[in-house]
Amino acid sequence: MNLRRLFSIVLKELRQLRRDRLTFAMIVGIPTMQLLLFGYAINLDIRQLPAAALDQAQTAHAREVVAALAETSVMDFRYHLKTPQELDELLRGGKISAALVIPADFERRLAEQNLDTQPWPRPPLQIVVDGSDQVVQQAAAQLALLPLQNLLNPAAPTPVKNVEIVNFYNPARLAPVNTVPGLIGVILTMTMVLFTAMAIVRERERGNLEFLIATPVSPFELTLGKVLPFVGIGLVQVTVVLLLGMLIFHVPIRGSLLDVYGAALAFIVASLSLGVFLSTLAKTQFQSMQLAFFTFLPQILLSGFMFPFAGMPKPAQWLAEIFPMTHFIRLIRGIMLRGARLSELWPELAALAAFCVVTLTIAVLRTRKRLD
């Protein structure tokens, strides 16, 4: 290990990077674009679901129910229908995702609800949903909890709800607050793994390596020198996402900023290790790109960024525990949203460290300073 040599490799990488306009633009361009895109587009809260109302009762109470539901702005009643056939057609054609059905005997069913009769009376309202969309189903399930007694007798005290949903940490139910911290993970995964894997394989593909291995340079120096600039680049990307997240989406950082960067640094190193490992498997830059993409999807889908971790089947959870992104999502959400300290989240850090040790060990074992 020679510091002058290491420094000259870093310098060479930076010089090459400066001339590679596209990569250079991607370093800042990718985080900005993804943040804006996902921040605005990924909104798991249902608002303005296209809907229809089929009011067969035509009573004052029925109209009140429709108005009350419309007010939640979960459903947007674009159609007011007369027959179940119309409803069928709209739903099948995808014109609406949900429909509120008020049966002709709505008043009688409502009255029966108040009498404690046995067997249980039929519910007075029906919400028909497009079951092909899971998210819509969830929204409908929430609508079903809407207390209706108030409608019948406004003077009566508000009935006690069976389940009270209290939204901690994201009281306004703003999606970007959940999305932006995770997005740091997505962006770092995509750029760090891809850039390192490609940068190392490029040397081999262009034939530079044949010259280099005939010199005293060691594979360790070469890899470290190529990877170091990306640590800096990763931290720049984290800063871009944090700044945009705060300025545009008002995402809070409840924990310490130092902890945020600490977690990011650990994740950057883990992603770079993965990139170095992938580079030992690929012969061409194209192969390394394919390998990198192969690791993106499972990480993004299973890490808890897209879907709730607890909802996944056990084997998927075990698999997800391997991915660095899973641990980073827990770290960054904990620090940014719950105000946790990095030291409290040490098991996640330990998992990232273990990932680095394993991938780098395999990479080193696979690297030989020869052509065969």
Partner 1 sequence: MDKANDNAIVARGLTRRFGDLVAVDHVDLTVARAQVYGFLGPNGSGKSTTIRMLCGLLLPTEGDIDVLDCKIPQQAEALKRRIGYMTQKFSLYDDLTVYENLDFVAAVHELSRTDARKRIDELLTTYWLTQQRDQLAGTMSGGQKQRLALAASVLHKPELLLLDEPTSAVDPQSRREFWDSLFALADQGTTILVSTHYMDEAERCHRLAILDHGRLVADGSPRDLCAALPGQALLIECANPRRAQTALDGEPAIVSMAQIGAHLRVLVHDGADARATIAAKLKAQGIDARIDAVEANLEDVFVVATQRPKNKAVAA
Per-residue binder mask for partner 1 (CB under 8 A), 215-254, x = binder: xxx-------------------------------------
Minimum distance from CB of 216 to partner 1 (Å)? 5
208 part of the interface to partner 1, by CB under 8 A: yes
Minimum distance from CB of 226 to partner 1 (Å)? 13
Q: Which of 281, 237, 336 is nearest to 26 (CA)?
A: 237
Choose which of 148, 212, 231, 301 interacts with partner 1 (CB under 8 A).
212
Q: Which is nearer to partner 1, 14 or 146 (CB)?
A: 14
Cis link prior to 119 (omega < 30° from 0)? yes
* Cα Rg of the chain (Å, integer): 28
CB 96 within 8 A of CB 90: yes
CB 331 within 8 A of CB 182: no
**Distance in angstroms (rounded) separating the CA atoms of residues 225 and 368:** 17
Q: 371 forms bridges with which residues in the sheet? A: none
Choose which of 119, 154, 157, 207 interacts with partner 1 (CB under 8 A).
207
Q: Which two structure tokens, joined as six digits, stand for 281?
A: 């498997």
Q: Which is nearer to partner 1, 13 or 76 (CB)?
A: 13
Name 340's Cβ contacts closer than 8 Å, sequence gap at least 6.
Answer: 255, 334
CB 128 within 8 A of CB 101: yes
214 part of the interface to partner 1, by CB under 8 A: yes
Question: What are the CB-based long-range contacts (under 8 Å, 24+) for 91-97?
Answer: 91/128, 91/130, 94/130, 95/50, 96/50, 96/51, 96/52, 96/130, 97/49, 97/50, 97/51, 97/129, 97/130, 97/133, 97/136
Minimum distance from CB of 199 to partner 1 (Å)? 12
Stretch that binds partner 1, among 34-42, 151-159, 279-287, 363-371 (CB under 8 A): 363-371
12 part of the interface to partner 1, by CB under 8 A: yes
Choose which of 45, 89, 210, 344 interacts with partner 1 (CB under 8 A).
210
Stretch that binds partner 1, among 71-79, 136-144, 173-181, 204-212 (CB under 8 A): 204-212
Q: Which is nearer to partner 1, 158 or 215 (CB)?
A: 215
Residues near partner 1, by CB under 8 A? 2, 4-5, 7-9, 11-12, 15-16, 19-20, 206-217, 369-372
